Structure 1
Amino acid sequence: MAATAVIKGPVIGIRHLQTLLLFFSILVNYAGRLNISVSLVAMTNADTTNPDFHEFDWDEKQRSYVISSFYWGYFITQFPGGYMARKFGVKATILMATLGSSLLNIIVPLCVYWGGWQIYCGIRILQGLFQGMVFPCVHEHLAKWSPIDERTRLGGLSHTGIECGTIVAMGLSGIIAGSSLGWPGISYVFGGIGIVFCVLWMIFADNTPSEARFITDEEKIYILTSQESAGGNDSERKIPIPWKAIFTSIPFLSLLSVRILQGWGFTTMQAQIPAYLHGVLKMDIKSNALYSTLPYLTMWILSNVYLIAADIILKNKWASLNVTRKTMNTIALWIPAALLIGIGFLDENQKALAVTFMTLNVGLNGGQTIGSSLNTIDLSPNHAGILMGIVNSIANIVPILTPIAVGIIVYDETQRTQWQIVFAIAAVLFFLGNLQFLIFGTTDTQPWNDENFIKAESGLNGRKTSETHERNLSKANLEVY
């Protein structure tokens, strides 16, 4: 008798629409937060952009406080963000986060005229509080909407919003700052883009396949049966969180460590590229904005290369998911570590080589999304949002410290030797972070992902998972081979 084929749903379906929406949610929030790296230069050096607008006399330490203040709020709401996604749904939580951050962007020009850099820090803290909820929601949404065979593909595609958001922030900010809108226009444009996204999100986003309005039965069955086979839960039933098991899990602690150490190197480059190009390589703001986007354009391109390569490798079973993730993460961290050391020995007479190194450094680092970022969903689909909340809560203390550390080390941004120290620290942390991930990390779903884990730990017989699985398969009336 011929075997019944597995129903996989439409090639392009509502799961892809949700992925696209996640991509844009990351893009608009990243663009809204990262335009600061260009706008702050324009606000404090008006002659390089549009001298018709007010220039603020803020020193390097004050500017570093403005940059880092976003993360003072950002790390606080990562953990609550995972809770809110479970309690109120991803749709409501991302809407609130993006709308709040966008409105705060719009009021920046008005507030800084009378409140100075201190009020700017306050606004950035509030923006961080709102945006801190986004990534736990993204991982919670991916866990609900990604069939197991498409998890890497859909997760990678949504996370390319990071690179695109950075490209848009740095590229468009420089153009706006030099236009008749001046630096205030940066806040107005990015705030407006965020509000437009919120309207689209309200119309098309759905929390789960079960409650989606436009999904076909075929696609719904495909996603739900795949989720069940991976130990996922699409129902409204709340699963107890095994806190002790999570915080004593070696694979989870390894993931946490690599994200912390990777974050230091990445945020060093992300926040400081404009200052380095301006101070050491003597580039003006317009060239600065152009060259600042090149690394992230490369990162976006290479992220898709990583994604396609991982998809081909996994589809053809050339390597396991575990080996694939670790290989991608090694390329993404160890090669940039070497490039960081090299960058520190270049000066304004080697602009082309410096820009090439910086471009490759940031571009290659895009592989960490496939390498380690999506590992929260591997370890526990049922607790992916909570895990991401924990990881980002702790890891995002780093971006608070990085600009402050740079401000202490680099007291004269024209001095290459001071930047060498900054880059060397980042390189060492890149190397150590990946090394321990190679040793202790894994993609195996952890025992504490099971919804009955806590009952089982208490000696109770939890049969609900298998019963739910059988019920869903019976309802679908499928034979899966």
Structure 2
Amino acid sequence: MSKTEKSFPRNFTGCLTCVQVLNIMVLLGFMLNYALRVNLTIAIVEMIIPTTNTTNVTETANVTDMFNVTEHPHREQTRYQWDTTQKNLLLGCFFWGYVLTELPGGRLAEIIGARRVFGYSTLLASILTLLSPAAAAAGFGWIVALRVLLGFLLGATWPAILPMASKWIPPMDRSKFMSNMMASSLGAAITMPICGFLIAHLGWESSFYFTGIIGLMWSLSWFAVVYDTPAEHPRISDTERNYLLKVLPQDENAKKGHMPVPWCQMLTSPPVWAIIITHGCSVFGYFTVVNQLPTYIESILHYSIKHNGLLSSLPYLGKYLCALASSVLADSLRRSGRLSTTSARKLFTGFAVGLPGVLMVAQAFFGHDRVWSVAIFTIALTINGAVTAGYLGNGLDIAPNFSGTIFGMANTLSSLGGWLSTFMVGELTKQHNTYAQWQIVFFILAGVYVVGALSFIIFGSGELQPWNARQPTREQEPLNDTDKTEKA
């Protein structure tokens, strides 16, 4: 592929191209992905019967206080006597299923297509979301099982989208396409205040019904307008199909069937491990900051960030905007030839993962101040959005035929990192929840971020790997001189 690849041709009819429709559906799909995940986060406050414990009373008031809504005195809500252990179990069990389908989801998308994997996973997850109130009413075990199954389904969606990008998105436009995955953060920022408003007016069940219905609508639209390859799409224009088939040759491999994974070459490839390690470090830092920020600000700075909905949404919004801006810039630099793919991936990964490490060091020294803490956390999360121009879609550069498998391995490690970050903070602060203990957390975060950035800068690559190509079979191997003589 030429470094000066032209931009995608515009549709002269004035309608959206199929690639543009795919971008819109993927963006909305990842917004929905987080909506189906975080609806419980805010609903659970109203699902549990308030106790005399001060913390629980405060939490119960947060939903209505955040939106300045007076709860209807005559509206009766079903509530459950779940203790703190059960509450945390319910919030965390999603990841039990989530971590199991990362690798299988990516590989399955390479074999049967991302349209079915992403579409059916989201469709079934939406149905389960609609059944959540009934599962809670049936018993605690039922709602836990439902959330595990929900995680099992949604875990397959993230790695599934990369194989689709390899069939639809020209190489010089892939950074911008990958920024659609960061719309998940935007989905969380939008979903939480909407669900809070609905809960305050209609009860906690409404948050599940709202997100579930939106999910069903999206799923039906997905199957109506998205197809696995340009050759399969019934409504694509000849101009768009011919252009995509020219810049993305794919039909010959498709006719031969899916390719077996070259596990030996893949697992001994430094660029693959650069992606896996960097993704694990980046997500470890992200989950630690997002999940522990409210706790830190409340317990150390004695200020509740949850009372300010806008302030809570800023990191999510900033991350998406940074992802979009950096991706457009990276694709522009690569297309013009000013940066090679390898240089672009390393530059933006160093910025998106390395700089938050520096900011965590600053947090360790200035984190005792409320304004500095919120500012540093927000800037760190915002900058981290630039991973879409860095390592996040790098699997498409080095091995598009196995990009789903590579991302599945990376996301499996990062999912375990999400649990590990919670365990780490809990162990460090359970005896002495002091600023000194949190400084240790910040220094650990700084080290993890820097390790991730250096791993990719040293071992990362943007070059297509030789094991990505189909290996010739015995019958397909070219004849050597001896064989030619024997044949003669």
Same fold (TM over 0.5): yes
Once the two structures are superposed, residues 202-229 of structure 1 have per-residue CA deviations (whole angstroms, 9 ceiling, x without a partner) of 211111111001111111111111112x
Deviations 1:450-475 (A, max 9, x none): 12x263xx695279xxxxxxxxxxxx
1:78 correspondence with 2:105? no
Q: Which moved more, 1:339-348 or 1:127-136?
A: 339-348
Residues 81 and 136 in structure 1, CA contact (< 8 A), matched pair in contact too? yes
Aligned-partner residue type, residue 171 of structure 1: P
TM-fit CA distance, 1:272: 2.8
Determine which of 114, 124, 130 is the counterpart of 1:106: 130
- The alpha-carbon deviation at position 14 of structure 1 amounts to 0.6
Instruction: Give the structure 2 partner of residue 269 of structure 1.
Output: 289
Residues 1:58 and 2:83 are matched in the alignment: yes
Determine if contact 1:68/1:399 at 8 Å carries over to the other structure: no
Deviates more, 1:45-54 or 1:253-262: 45-54
Matched, 1:32 2:36: yes
Q: Could you tell me which of 357, 364, 371 is aligned with 1:337?
A: 357
Alignment match, 1:461? 477
User: Of the candidates 58, 61, 70, which is equivalent to residue 47 of structure 1?
Assistant: 61
Post-superposition shift, 1:169? 3.2
Distance in structure 2 (CA, Å) of the matches to 1:270 and 1:384: 27
Where do 5+ consecutive residues of structure 2 fail to align?
48-55, 65-70, 480-488
The letter of the residue matching 2:224 is I
Residue matched to 2:439 = 420
Please give the secondary structure, in 2, of the residue aligned with 1:318.
coil
Question: Equivalent residues in 2 for 1:144-163 (5 A)?
Answer: 144-156=167-179, 158-163=180-185
Which residue does 1:358 correspond to in 2? 377
2:483 corresponds to: none
Q: 2: distance between equivalents of 1:389 and 1:340?
A: 28
TM-score when normalising by structure 2 = 0.83
Verify: 1:169 aligned to 2:191, yes or no.
yes
TM-aligned CA deviation for residue 180 of structure 1 = 1.5
Shift of 1:264: 0.8
**Structure 2 residue aligned with 1:471:** none
Work out whether 1:186 is the aligned partner of 2:207: yes
User: Do structure 1's residue 439 and structure 2's residue 453 form an aligned pair?
Assistant: no
**Correspondence for 1:69:** 93
Partners in 1 of 2:160 and 2:209 — Cα distance? 26
Higher Rg = 2
On the 8 A contact 2:306/2:312 being kept in 1, the answer is: no
Task: In structure 2, give the amino acid aligned to 1:431.
Answer: V
Contact 1:298 1:363 in 2 (8 A): yes
Deviation at 1:307, TM superposition (A): 1.6
Q: 1:446 offset after TM fit, Å?
A: 0.4
Matching residue within 257, 267, 281 for 2:277: 257
Gaps of at least 5 residues in structure 1 are 464-481
2:116 maps to 92
| Cross-structure match for 1:300 | 320
Of 110, 129, 147, which aligns to 2:152? 129
The SS at the match of 2:231 is helix
Is the alpha carbon distance of 1:16 and 1:450 closer, same or farther for their aligned partners in structure 2, counting shifts above 3 Å?
A: same
What amino acid maps onto 1:58 in structure 2? D
User: Aligned partners of 1:126 and 1:63: how far apart in 2?
Assistant: 18
- Distance in 1 between the 2:144 and 2:393 partners? 31
* Structure 2 counterpart of 1:164, one-letter code: L
Whole-Å Cα distance in 1 between the matches of residues 44 and 302 of structure 2? Answer: 17
Deviations 1:269-319 (A, max 9, x none): 233334334444444575243322110111112112212221332232221
Letter in 2 for 1:446: Q
Q: Could you say what secondary structure the match of 1:76 adopts?
A: coil
Q: Which range moved further: 381-390 or 284-293?
A: 284-293
Amino acid at match of 2:319: M
Q: What is the SS of the residue equivalent to 1:209?
A: coil
Query: In 2, distance between residues paired with 1:47 and 1:93?
Result: 40
What secondary structure, in the 3-state scheme, does the structure 1 residue paired with 2:139 have? helix
- Counterpart of 1:124, as a letter, is R
* Residues 311 and 89 of structure 1, relative CA distance in 2, 3 Å threshold: closer
The alpha-carbon deviation at position 107 of structure 1 amounts to: 3.0
Instruction: Give the conservation status (yes or no) of the 8 Å contact 2:354–2:452.
Output: no
SS in 1 for 2:204: helix
Question: How far, CA to CA, are the matches of 1:342 and 1:55 in structure 2?
Answer: 43
SS at match of 1:337: helix
Q: Is the 8 A contact 2:355 2:380 kept in 1?
A: yes
Whether contact under 8 Å (1:330, 1:434) holds in the other structure is yes
Residue 436 of structure 1: CA displacement?
A: 1.3
- The structure-2 alpha-carbon separation of the partners of 1:278 and 1:389, relative to structure 1 and needing over 3 Å to count, comes to same
Give me the whole-angstrom Cα distance separating, in 1, the residues matched to 2:171 and 2:106.
21
Inter-partner Cα distance in structure 1 for 2:266 and 2:252: 17
Deviation at 1:412, TM superposition (A): 7.6
SS of alignment partner, residue 301 of structure 1:
helix
1:389 aligned residue: 408
Read off the aligned partner of 1:407 and give its amino acid letter: G
1:208-287 to structure 2, matched below 5 A, reads: 208-228=229-249, 233=253, 235=255, 237-284=257-304, 287=307
Report the more deviating stretch, 142-151 or 336-345.
Answer: 336-345
The share of aligned pairs that are identical, in percent, is 26
Are the counterparts in 1 of residues 172 and 331 from structure 2 also a CA contact under 8 Å?
no
TM norm structure 1: 0.84
- 1:288/1:7 CA distance change after superposition, 3 Å: closer
Partner residue of 1:430 out of 427, 444, 449: 449
Question: 1:231·1:449 contact (CA, 8 Å) conserved in 2?
Answer: no
Q: Does 1:142 align with 2:165?
A: yes
- Local SS of the residue matching 1:438: helix
Q: What is the Cα deviation at residue 184 of structure 1?
A: 3.2
Matched AA of 2:204: W
Cα distance change of structure 1 residues 58 and 461 upon mapping to structure 2, 3 Å threshold? same
What per-residue deviation string (whole Å, max 9, x for no partner) do you get for residues 71-91 of structure 1?
Answer: 211111112112322343222
CA distance in 1, matches of 2:432, 2:121: 35
Q: 1:390 to 1:232 in 2, by over 3 A?
A: farther
Q: Which residue of 1 is the match for residue 50 of structure 2?
A: none
Distance 1:104 1:73, change over 3 A: same
| Residue 340 to residue 74, structure 1, CA distance change in 2 (3 Å) | same
| Cα offset, 1:114, TM superposition | 5.6
Structure 2 SS opposite 1:276: helix
Q: Secondary structure of 2:338's partner?
A: coil
Could you tell me which residue of structure 2 aligns to residue 399 of structure 1? 418
Rounded Cα–Cα distance in structure 2 between residues aligned with 1:232 and 1:135: 26
Amino acid at match of 1:159: M
Paired residue type of 2:99: F
Aligned pair in 2 of structure 1 residues 132, 67: CA closer, same or farther (>3 Å)?
A: same
Whether contact under 8 Å (1:67, 1:403) holds in the other structure is: no
